[in-house]
Amino acid sequence: MLMKNARRISSWAAGILLALVAVLPVEAAAGRDLNVLLITLDTTRADHVGAYGVRARLTPNIDRMAGRGALFTRAFSHNPMTLPAHANILTGQTPLFHGVSDNNGFRLDGRFLTLPELLKDLNYETAAFVSSFVLDRAGGLDQGFDLYREPQGQDTLVAAEVVPLAREWIASRRGKWFCWLHLWDPHSPYAPPAPFDKRFAADPYAGEVAYMDHELGKLFSFLEKSGCLDSTLLVITGDHGEALGDHGEFEHGYFAYNSTIHVPLIICRPGARRRTVADPVCHADILPTVSDVLGRKPPEDLAGRTLLPLLEGGQREERPIYFESKGPHLTRGWAPLEGFIDGNLKYIDLPVKELYDLQRDFAESKNIISTRRVSDLKRRLEEVKGGVSGSDAASARVAMSAEMTRKLRAFGYLSGIRVEKKAAYTREDDLKILLPIQNKLRLANQLFNDRKYPEAKELYEDVIASRPGDIGSYLHLADTLHFMRRFRAAVDVLRGGLERNPDSLELKAKLGVFLSDIQRHDEAVALLQEVLAADPGSSENWNCLGAVHFRRKDFAAAEEAYAKALALDPANAMAHANLGALFLARYVATRDEAQRQKALAAFNEAIALDERLAAAYNGRGAAYRFAGQVEPALADWRQAVDLRPELTDAHFNIAVTLLAVGRKAEARECLERLRSQHGDLLSASDRQRLQRLLVATGD
């Protein structure tokens, strides 16, 4: 679905603007006068870009740009994850320096110099157009940008939504500019739009790549026809790849084999010769390269180094490339994965060590660790890490909202859970040994997102049976049982998790919420207060405490807790929705119209922040209904049902309102749909209510 509220200039104005740009005389610019266009292709394997010679004709437009510059055949990401990979690109550093090691619970601190900040010092106008919530402002990558366009009210954008925004912004510039365009499309789930869905029915991932290239072709054509490309430094790279089953991994963010850290990298300078570069290079090299091409000496002490000598056909001294994959370690307590690429050797440091000769075995099919002394490789890794580390990396850790957790989980990422580090990791903690469990969790998350709760429940239970200390699986299983309306079972699961992990704040917070579901409000408050005493900076936990106070009908305490939640995170959409419910409850008790208006304002704010928040539509529908506004109320409740079909309250609200205005046939249809599709989620009292309402419709 296309983004509805994107700001666009009219087609008439756009035509005039592009025509003006096209007739401006453009000459090849000197390096210091070049515009800079950085395009990052999310989840894009190098071997799916045609210029790399494996999937010919899949990406003709990117290939055309590769023909104008340098194609790097051995370019590597330091992380197989979106947020840290882009932090590396924009800072010229590694996660050991800036601290951003995962999508979950990290933010780039403002003290680190970024590429747009460097270019602002050179009088560039700067803009970013990103296509995923993973790169929203909460990640800290917006620093230095005059304009930072991210998805509004939806999780992601497709290329056809974001490419025109970048093109229009570029067309309206009259001075030097830097534009970063990020495209999310090849990320799972793979669902290319027509006609690519049919053309690539057997390979939808390739279809996503081809679609993305098709949309980029429109931008490239504009740059060529307008002459703008003759004054622009163009950098195209992938943030990471996609495993597609290689080594038993299906997506990314787990291992760090070449299927997920080998990326395309194309750099085009006006007037430069086409060339292919086989030297190992990395994301951290991009910032110093841009700086050098523009005639400014790159900042000192960067992890990356300029590629300008290679762009000019020369050589540079090789230096090892550090890489890591820390998500499973940070959120599940599994062994951390670190390694380096040094010439043709690639070392992966896990309990079961790995070494590969990339010259002979780029697919990493034969582990040659027995040919080297492990102690020498470990010592070399420490030397490599020492050269790319910093003292402020810990500043990147931040609390993650429940909404961000939901979004990340919907795309298959591990949720933000803090775990205790082990003194030593054994073979049993190795990611290769744990791969079957990882794949079970991946499938369980898919089933959960598809609302196949019984099947997801079985898989989470299997994981807990084999890894009883896995905090995330207890949380996921409890959520699954909660959606199945098995509230007491969810509480029992969390209690079991706390027996194995007594210090887990995540388990305690979730238990506090679910205790309230079974009317154990005092216990819930005590547990949440304990969690907040240990971690008072969690907006989501203050929101949960407010919700429990609300259920106790202690509205003053609830409002105070919601206020603290919003002070910590003004963008906490659920806290705004909960505050709206509180104002609405006060209206019901007092019939004070001012309270209803405050409720409407809170629900509107929640929806503005998150257009997919069903609870906010459900609440706003009630606020409309109390004012006699039947059609707006029905529209909101139907939207709530569309977003969350299992939200039984919204179904009942629709049916009761339709009955009240005499639309019995519509009410009966709504109730029958509720009975057939979600009857198993109804409590005994709700089933009785459903039956009474069906009788009232003449059933």
Give tens-digit pLDDT for 490-500.
999 999 999 99
699, pLDDT greater than 70: no
Burial 571-609 (b: 16+ CB within 10 A, else e): bbbbbbbbbbbbbbbbbeeeeeeebbebbbebbebbbeb
Does a structural domain hold residue 173?
A: yes
Does a structural domain hold residue 71?
A: yes
Q: What is the pLDDT of residue 413?
A: 55
Q: Which of 102-106, 562-566, 667-671 ranks highest by mean pLDDT?
A: 562-566
Q: Which residue has the higher pLDDT, 427 or 154?
A: 427
Q: What is the pLDDT of residue 406?
A: 58
Q: What percentage of residues in the chain have a pLDDT greater than 90?
A: 80
21, pLDDT greater than 70: no
* Number of domains present in the structure of the chain: 1
Band (403; pLDDT cuts 50, 70, 90): low
Q: What is the pLDDT of residue 564?
A: 97
Does a structural domain hold residue 508?
A: no
Q: What is the pLDDT of residue 686?
A: 87
303, pLDDT greater than 70: yes
E strands along 155-287, which residues? 177-183, 232-238, 262-268, 275-277, 281-282
Q: What is the pLDDT of residue 603?
A: 97
Give tens-digit pLDDT for 527-554.
999 999 998 988 999 999 999 999 999 9
Give tens-digit pLDDT for 325-340.
999 999 888 999 999 9
Task: Report d(CA 197, CA 204) in Å as an integer.
Answer: 7
Q: What is the pLDDT of residue 584?
A: 97
Task: Report d(CA 650, CA 615) in Å as an integer.
Answer: 9
Does a structural domain hold residue 144?
A: yes
Give tens-digit pLDDT for 255-279.
999 999 999 999 999 999 999 999 9
Band (65; pLDDT cuts 50, 70, 90): very high
Does a structural domain hold residue 343?
A: no
Q: What is the pLDDT of residue 12?
A: 27
Q: What is the pLDDT of residue 607?
A: 95
CATH code for the domain in which residue 46 is found? 3.40.720.10
Q: What is the pLDDT of residue 390?
A: 83
Q: Is 398 helix (H, G, I), strand (E, B) or coil?
A: coil
Query: Tokens 């980029």 appear where?
Result: 216
Phi/psi at 677 (5° precision): -95, -30
Q: What is the dihedral of CA 341, 344, 348, 354, to 10 degrees?
A: -170
10, pLDDT greater than 90: no
Task: Report d(CA 579, CA 543) in Å as an integer.
Answer: 9
Phi/psi at 375 (5° precision): -60, -35
Give tens-digit pLDDT for 577-636.
999 999 999 999 999 999 999 999 999 999 998 888 999 999 999 999 999 999 999 999
Mean per-residue pLDDT, 415-437: 86
Which residues, at least 6 apart from 208, have a Cβ–Cβ distance to it below 8 Å? 185, 186, 187, 190, 191, 192, 196
Does a structural domain hold residue 86?
A: yes
5, pLDDT greater than 50: no
Q: What is the pLDDT of residue 32?
A: 72
| Residue range of the domain that includes 112 | 11-319
Give tens-digit pLDDT for 158-185.
999 999 999 999 999 999 999 999 999 9
Taking the CA atoms of 410, 411, 413 and 416 in sequence, report the sign of the dihedral they define: negative
Burial 110-141 (b: 16+ CB within 10 A, else e): eebbbbbbbbbeeebbbbbbbbbbbbbebbbb
CB 678 within 8 A of CB 686: no
Mean per-residue pLDDT, 683-694: 89
Mean per-residue pLDDT, 139-152: 95
Mean pLDDT of the chain: 91
Does a structural domain hold residue 440?
A: no
Q: What is the pLDDT of residue 116?
A: 98
Pairing status of strand 345-349 against strand 337-342? antiparallel
Structure token digits, residue 575: 């806290």
Task: Report d(CA 547, CA 553) in Å as an integer.
Answer: 10
Instruction: Say whether pTM exceeds 0.75.
Output: yes
